[in-house]
Amino acid sequence: MVKKRINSFWPRVMVFLAVLGPGIIAACANNDAGGISTYSIVGADFGGKMMWILFLVMFSTAVTQEMGVRIGLVTRQGLGGVIREYFGVRWVALVMLTMLITNLGTMTAEFSGLAESFEIFGISKYWVVPLGALVIWLILYKGSFKTTQRVFLLFSFFYLVYIVNGFIIKPDFAAAAKDLVTPTLEWTPHFLITMIALIGTTITPWGQFFIQSYVVDKGLDIKHYPAEKLEVYLGSVFTIVIGFFIILSTAATLHAAGIKITDAKDAALALKPLAGNFAQLLFAFGLFTGSMLGAFILPVATAYATCQAFGWEYGFDTDWKHGKYFYTTILLTIALPALFVLIPGIPLFRVMLLTQSINGILLPIILIFVMKIINNKEIMGNYVNKPLSNIIAWLTVGGLILCTALLVATTFFGMA
């Protein structure tokens, strides 16, 4: 009989992605529309001034993601479920509301990215966004969520082109290295809001839920901890390296030329040293896949987390009657952001940045619960936090709250 051999390219790639751990996957998923636009704006508007924050965020990302993995390995359930079981209905409702707001925001960023990537070719968002929303829903509902997710994760390696680009520019690496360790601040709302966005796009509320569920769904348990820990650290470094080169590229091109990003065409200029006239095409492709990656993951991730926390039935194998909350959540997370993006004349690239700031502002609420769980001996047993992780995580929480307070102060009282 016919012997079916797996010898074509795609199945192999799929298998490869299937064995990738949560750390690398989460790192890839970070390169969504919100991520690339924020990093681009950071470089274009402020040059290398925020590099030091990126450097610090690397440690925060490593620590927070590692905590998510550890809670997943020990409790073997999603973050929403753990919060529900140990803090009750009221607190989990607060956390879920926070997640819902930030996820709707991030979803808005994904649709903005989708619209922008086609805007480069002069195709109107009034075509692209509704069609995109429909395609996403159909693939989620009729197709395979996992396969699609993996395809787009694969594409997210696209952002490696920024590393190549970074070397072609021949930037002053010594200066960039100095930027990494030289704290610089501007007391303006624009600087602060961008800074919060930079943190909020790298350590995201949804990412915290995502990495923990991923660990649980893969059936990993605590004996995989050493390997997963290493992998999470690698993933965090990878995230930051990509961010570093995007900022480096936009700083050396856009910032040097004094160009402010208003749409994807501007952001694409950063890739000109590498791709010349193809820069726009390349950037559009990257932004498109990044947007789609997030747009596929977020609705499902939101619905899973919500349903787990409130005990509603979920999964695409449930029917509409039993899974009404599941399907409603997915539909709303697709429809509301899509409608928002269709508002005539809104500056989509800035919207992307703004949504990531909201992520950053609300992130402490999620992280505080993560901290309470991870330091609870009853839940974590011997796997409670070590002091170093606690210090880094609390500094992250404190830093974000401080930034938000400063942002409010500078905005309303003109502290500058």
Chain positions contacting other proteins, by CB under 8 A: 1-4, 75-77, 81, 84-85, 88-90, 93, 216, 219, 221, 310-311, 313, 317, 322
> Please, what is the minimum distance in Å from the beta carbon of residue 310 to other proteins?
6
CA distances for 97 relative to 100, 205, 216, 301, 354, angstroms: 5, 11, 23, 14, 18
> Please, what is the minimum distance in Å from the beta carbon of residue 248 to other proteins?
41
178/322 with CB nearer other proteins: 322
> Please, what is the minimum distance in Å from the beta carbon of residue 295 to other proteins?
25
> Please, what is the minimum distance in Å from the beta carbon of residue 311 to other proteins?
2
93/336 with CB nearer other proteins: 93
44/74 with CB nearer other proteins: 74
88/347 with CB nearer other proteins: 88
> Please, what is the minimum distance in Å from the beta carbon of residue 223 to other proteins?
9
> Please, what is the minimum distance in Å from the beta carbon of residue 215 to other proteins?
10
Q: Residue 193 corresponds to which tokens in the numbers above?
A: 């809001």
19/343 with CB nearer other proteins: 19
93/408 with CB nearer other proteins: 93
> Please, what is the minimum distance in Å from the beta carbon of residue 309 to other proteins?
8
90/386 with CB nearer other proteins: 90
Q: How far apart are CA 91 and CA 34, in angstroms?
A: 28
311/398 with CB nearer other proteins: 311
> Please, what is the minimum distance in Å from the beta carbon of residue 388 to other proteins?
28
Amino acid making up residue 154: L
